[in-house]
Chain A
């Protein structure tokens, strides 16, 4: 399946992150097939589709956490198997579970998630997400939304080009959503690539990748 598309390769190879002929099946149900995309810096990509359409499956495939797919992934023009180290070096991922430890304070959590960050940077990032004053509270005392905000503080702390965010707006209040949206747009304007799944409509034009349609989805995203 993948070799038939080999003639497309040079075109897609220029993109930061691209996929060709992706096919994924779950429990004998084909989630998507012949999925092509090529995403570049400065773009916001919104993966949409109804529940169970395979949004999270696609994200896990992009991350390299799932091997149950066919097709090719490219990072910076080289096959993912070769570019994996650089890809992960540039990657910031927030999933459904954000990796916040209940028995650690927000500051301690961020210190492990962002080992390079200075203490002052962690404090100012926590201030950005509205958690100033909670640095020394154990995370088990925080609400679900506040725990997610701890993880979102990484968006202000880490200098990573590729953001992959799975439902980032979950459990975040109205002001927080607006602020997060602004941060996402800012990152794209600064030359980053943001890939997210959400049912929330963003204020700017984004690239849509719609999953779960009867017709074979074609993601020809030429600017």
Chain B
């Protein structure tokens, strides 16, 4: 019974996500647009595109995630449900974990699903597909977790738009480097497990630390 407010929150947010699905499509559309404009702007030559495909897809995914972070706590903050969440007897970090998991489900998972398609469009060499999907699977949850810290810190600010990327982009850089180089290693026919192991380790670390940090950030934001 102690978990039922968490389950209720999960169901509620899933329902809200479904009702506002147009809003959720925005980051995905952004991702698709970035990736599809590159061949037009640079060159349609498959050889050249294949070289930069992994980078385009990962930069696109990262920026799309950044775009969607604003939605994480904002509406809850404005309508008072964040207060109700923090006033539950259960620790706030459990609610933050639910919200982060949901953010990954509606932002990270669609990006991961669409990415192979973009890989085909950008002539990604065959060896790159497996590491691309695996690195997105391991990397996007980390992006959501890190993003929850930035979203928690800036939720109370009227003009937090530029502050959040500044806060969390430096933390995103390791994910970007190791994910993109895992794809490159796959293309070159080298082993990419080392890169994925780093992404996994970063995810495990953030799984523990990020909810703590973002629940503390939310408490500060709400204390005004």
Determine whether A2 belongs to the interface, using a CB cutoff of 8 Å to chain B: no
Chain A residues numbered 53-86 whose CB sits less than 8 Å from any CB in chain B: 60, 63-68, 84-86
Tell me whether chain A's interface is mostly helix, strand or loop, or mixed.
Answer: loop
Given A66-B224, A116-B1, CB of A101 within 8 Å of CB of B8: no
Chain B residues numbered 1-26 whose CB sits less than 8 Å from any CB in chain A: 1, 4-5, 7-9, 11-12, 15-16, 19-20
Q: Which one of B64-72, B74-82, B128-136 contacts A? A: B74-82
Q: Tell whether, in the assembled complex, residue A108 and residue B87 are in contact, meaning their CB atoms are under 8 Å apart.
A: no
Q: Tell whether, in the assembled complex, residue A101 and residue B12 are in contact, meaning their CB atoms are under 8 Å apart.
A: yes
Chain A residues numbered 67-119 whose CB sits less than 8 Å from any CB in chain B: 67-68, 84-86, 88-89, 91, 93, 95-104, 108, 111-113, 115-116
Nearest B residue to A66, CB-CB: B223
Nearest A residue to B10, CB-CB: A112
Shortest CB-to-CB span from A63 to chain B, Å, is 6
Shortest CB-to-CB span from A77 to chain B, Å, is 19
When distances are taken between beta carbons in the complex, the residues of chain A under 8 Å from B19 are 103-104, 138
Tell me whether chain B's interface is mostly helix, strand or loop, or mixed.
Answer: helix
Nearest A residue to B75, CB-CB: A101
Q: Tell whether, in the assembled complex, residue B16 and residue A103 are in contact, meaning their CB atoms are under 8 Å apart.
A: yes
Q: Tell whether, in the assembled complex, residue A88 and residue B223 are in contact, meaning their CB atoms are under 8 Å apart.
A: no
* From A66, A67, A88, contact of B89 by CB (8 A): A88
Nearest A residue to B18, CB-CB: A103
What 0/1 pattern do residues 131 to 157 of A give for CB contact below 8 A with B?
A: 000000010000000000000000000
Per the CB 8 Å criterion, the residue count for chain B at the interface is 27
* Cβ-Cβ contact count across A and B, 8 Å cutoff: 72
Q: Tell whether, in the assembled complex, residue B83 and residue A115 are in contact, meaning their CB atoms are under 8 Å apart.
A: no
Q: List 23 A-B contacts (CB under 8 A).
A: A64-B87, A66-B223, A66-B224, A89-B89, A93-B84, A93-B87, A97-B80, A99-B84, A100-B80, A100-B81, A101-B16, A101-B81, A103-B16, A103-B20, A104-B12, A108-B15, A111-B8, A111-B11, A112-B11, A112-B12, A115-B4, A116-B1, A116-B4
Determine whether B88 belongs to the interface, using a CB cutoff of 8 Å to chain A: yes
Q: Tell whether, in the assembled complex, residue B88 and residue A88 are in contact, meaning their CB atoms are under 8 Å apart.
A: yes
Q: Tell whether, in the assembled complex, residue A111 and residue B223 are in contact, meaning their CB atoms are under 8 Å apart.
A: no
Chain A residues numbered 172-191 whose CB sits less than 8 Å from any CB in chain B: none
Q: Tell whether, in the assembled complex, residue B80 and residue A99 are in contact, meaning their CB atoms are under 8 Å apart.
A: yes
A68 to B220: give the CA distance in the assembly, Å: 11
Q: Tell whether, in the assembled complex, residue A65 and residue B81 are in contact, meaning their CB atoms are under 8 Å apart.
A: no
When distances are taken between beta carbons in the complex, the residues of chain A under 8 Å from B86 are 65
Nearest B residue to A97, CB-CB: B80
Given A103-B20, A108-B12, A112-B11, CB of A97 within 8 Å of CB of B78: yes
Shortest CB-to-CB span from A152 to chain B, Å, is 14
Nearest A residue to B19, CB-CB: A103
* From B5, B80, B224, contact of A95 by CB (8 A): B80
Shortest CB-to-CB span from A75 to chain B, Å, is 12
A65 to B20: give the CA distance in the assembly, Å: 30
Determine whether B222 belongs to the interface, using a CB cutoff of 8 Å to chain A: yes
When distances are taken between beta carbons in the complex, the residues of chain A under 8 Å from B79 are 97-102
A115 to B19: give the CA distance in the assembly, Å: 20
Q: Which 8 A-B pairs have the closest CB atoms?
A: A97-B80, A99-B81, A115-B8, A112-B12, A99-B80, A88-B89, A115-B4, A103-B19
A93 to B8: give the CA distance in the assembly, Å: 18
Which residue of A103, A111, A113 has the most chain B CB atoms within 10 A of its CB atom?
A103
Shortest CB-to-CB span from B85 to chain A, Å, is 8
